Amino acid sequence: MRNNSITSIRLILYFIFAVLFLAGCKKEDVKNYADIMTEGEMEAELTSPPHVPKPVGNRTAMKLKLNMEIKEQEGTMTDGVKYTYWTFGGSVPGSFIRTRVGDEVEFHLKNHPDNKLPHNIDLHAVTGPGGGATSSLVAPGHEKVFSFKVINPGLYVYHCATAPVGMHIANGMYGLILVEPEGGLPPVDKEYYVMQGDFYTQGEYGAKGLQAFDMNKAIKETPDYVVFNGKVGSLTNGNELTAKVGETVRLFVGNGGPNLVSSFHVIGEIFDNVHIEGGSSINKNVQTTLIPAGGAAIVDFKVETPGTFILVDHSIFRAFNKGALGMLKVEGKENQNIYSGTIQEGIYLPEGGTIQKMPGGSNAKAVIPKRTIEEKVKIGKELFGTTCFACHQSEGQGIPNTFPPLAKSDYLNSDSKRAIKTIIHGLTGEITVNGKKYNNVMPAQNLSDDEIANVLTYIYSSWGNNKTEITPEMVKALR
């Protein structure tokens, strides 16, 4: 009898606990933002990447009139490579949209009359059929208007959903829409818009000319390019993101796909806060965050030391061989309590003295045409962009303490034969360039005599170097 009483008491206590728990959950549940009444009307600010509109702050929910034009236009994928992008607002990714919960958006979607195809838009922030796609199919030269209320805070992808859906996304039709919570996101010093996408071209990476979309590669999920903001070098070569020591940086990062998952990482930084998949849950002290195709994340971090910080997809061959690489340049005073720089230099060869080599090519002899210096420079520039750029950077400036500069390089200008041998055979161990020591490994490059002559002629003709012309015969003599 006593045991039965104890059991009954326990059941009653469990029941009370459950009721209180559920009541507490209900009390803390989110507000029904669909019931919020809007006050006033305004034109929505739209921005092209990497820029974002100003924060919403404490403003009330409003009616936002949003005008977006679809444009099919030719652009540059990388030097010498063109691609016909399909865009929302003339950029890849499309225009950044910034709202707050409770806003009512009146969306005007216009299809430029010069376009060839109908398009629509599916916004993942929309609660409704097709995310707006069923109401927005628009032919060239026409406009569709539809409206929706944003009722869930977060960072969301939008994309075209016209058949074949994958093709429209693969051609660049994606972007981000931010729905800020009531009162806005916590303020930071700098905010930027970065979105990854994978592209499938009929030519291989770096193949010159206007490249068409390749459906077979897309179905097999074997992209030739994986890039940030629509092209190789969109966040380098003078387009770097910037900040100052002590500032907080927020990146709104999306992944348009259409296929690959992104392993987003900033080399030399740790994310203080990550809004997981763009939602309300926050993870802290994160090194790399997964962003699914059709997903997003918000990452915040404070920059506490100067330098160049590299944004990558840490599926790392995508970064250094397919284009998923950007830069954040931070200026300011060094803080040696956080990062000292090089304290000691030495040689470490865990694999012995063997120099890493690239895979060898065919032994077939090629006929090398006679080229003018101008032709060599043009070809060499394109080759530099696909072979040398990641380490030595767009203006030959290198990466401090890691890869030596090619610009105004005493090491190069004093001995052209040594430069040729370095490309043919590779280089390891300590060298001094412009008075600074570097100790790294450069693999031997699998380039023809003609390619080496062209890229070195370009390097010697650029960035204050001594304009030495390298010929294929000079290269052949040193093999």
Q: Measuring CA to CA, how many Å separate 107 from each of 36, 88, 119, 309, 318?
A: 19, 13, 14, 37, 35
Burial profile 373-395: b = 16 or more Cβ within 10 angstroms, e = fewer:
eeebbbbbbbbbbbbbbbebbee
Confidence at 359, pLDDT banded by 50, 70, 90: low
Average pLDDT over residues 443-449: 86
**What is the fold of 34-182?**
Immunoglobulin-like (2.60.40)
pLDDT of residue 387: 77
Within 8 A by CB and 6+ apart from 174, the residues are: 88, 92, 93, 94, 157, 158, 159, 160, 195, 197, 254, 256, 257
pLDDT in tens, 52-92: 999 999 999 999 999 999 999 999 999 899 999 999 999 99
| Confidence band for 3, pLDDT divided at 50, 70 and 90 | low
pLDDT at 51: 98
CA atoms of 455 and 388, how far apart (whole Å): 9
Detail the residues annotated as belonging to a binding site for Cu cation.
119, 124, 159-160, 168, 173, 314
SS3 of 199, please? strand
pLDDT of residue 360: 53
128-185 tens-digit pLDDT? 999 999 999 999 999 999 999 999 999 999 999 999 999 999 999 999 999 999 999 9
pLDDT at 426 (0 to 100): 86
pLDDT at 382 over 60: yes
pLDDT range class, residue 384, cuts 50, 70, 90 = confident
pLDDT of residue 14: 57
The domain ranges of the chain are 34-182, 191-331, 373-477
For 306-318, what is each residue's pLDDT tens digit?
Answer: 999 999 999 999 9
* Nearest residue to 158 (alpha-carbon basis) of 172, 144, 143: 172
Do the Cβ atoms of 454 and 371 come closer than 8 Å? yes
Q: Is 239's pLDDT higher than 70?
A: yes
Average pLDDT over residues 212-235: 97
Q: Of 303, 298, 301, 313, whose CA–CA distance to 252 is shortest?
A: 298
**Between residues 401 and 375, the one the model is more confident about:** 375
79-83, 369-373, 437-441, 466-470: segment of lowest average pLDDT: 437-441
**Which fold does the domain 191-331 belong to in CATH?**
Immunoglobulin-like (2.60.40)
**Mean pLDDT rounded to a whole number for the chain:** 89
pLDDT band at 348 (very low <50, low <70, confident <90, very high): very low
Give the integer Cα–Cα distance in Å for 252 and 178: 9
Average pLDDT of 209-234? 97
pLDDT at 24 > cutoff 50: no
How large is the average pLDDT for residues 442-468? Answer: 91
Handedness of CA 154, 158, 164, 170 (dihedral sign): negative
pLDDT the model gives residue 10: 60
Burial of 396 from C-beta contacts in 10 A (0-12 / 13-18 / 19+): buried
- Lookup: tokens for 150: 């944003």
Rounded-to-integer distance, Cα 380 and Cα 376, Å: 6
Lowest mean pLDDT among 15-24, 161-170, 293-302, 440-449: 15-24
DSSP 162: S
Q: Which two tokens stand for residue 248?
A: 């907080």
pLDDT of residue 349: 42
The Cα 375–Cα 395 span in angstroms is: 20
Q: Is the pLDDT of residue 7 over 60?
A: no
The amino acid sitting at 76 is T
pLDDT band of residue 351 (cuts 50, 70, 90) is very low
At residue 383, the pLDDT reads 84
More confident residue, 320 or 163: 163
Q: Examine the pLDDT at 48 and tell me if it is beyond 50.
A: yes
Burial (CB count within 10 angstroms: exposed 0-12, middle 13-18, buried 19+), residue 4? exposed
Query: Is 11 a residue whose pLDDT tops 70?
Result: no
pLDDT for the residue numbered 434: 94
Average pLDDT over residues 351-366: 49
Q: For the segment 105-136, what is each residue's pLDDT rounded down to a tens digit?
A: 999 999 999 999 999 999 999 999 999 999 99
Best-predicted range by mean pLDDT (4-18, 275-289, 412-426): 275-289
Fold matches, 191-331 and 373-477: no
- For residue 239, the one-letter residue type is N
Whether the predicted pLDDT of 367 surpasses 80 = no
- Say what the pTM is: 0.75
Burial 9-47 (b: 16+ CB within 10 A, else e): eeeeeeeeeeeeeeeeeeeeeeeebeebeeeeeeebebb
Say if residue 27's pLDDT is above 50.
no
CA dist 289 and 151 (Å) reads 26
Q: Is the pLDDT of residue 13 over 80?
A: no
- Annotated binding residues, written as ranges, equal 119, 124, 159-160, 168, 173, 314
CATH architecture of 373-477: Orthogonal Bundle (1.10)
* CA angle (146 as vertex; 143, 149 as ends), nearest 5: 150
The Cα–Cα gap between 101 and 80 comes to 44
pLDDT at 352: 40
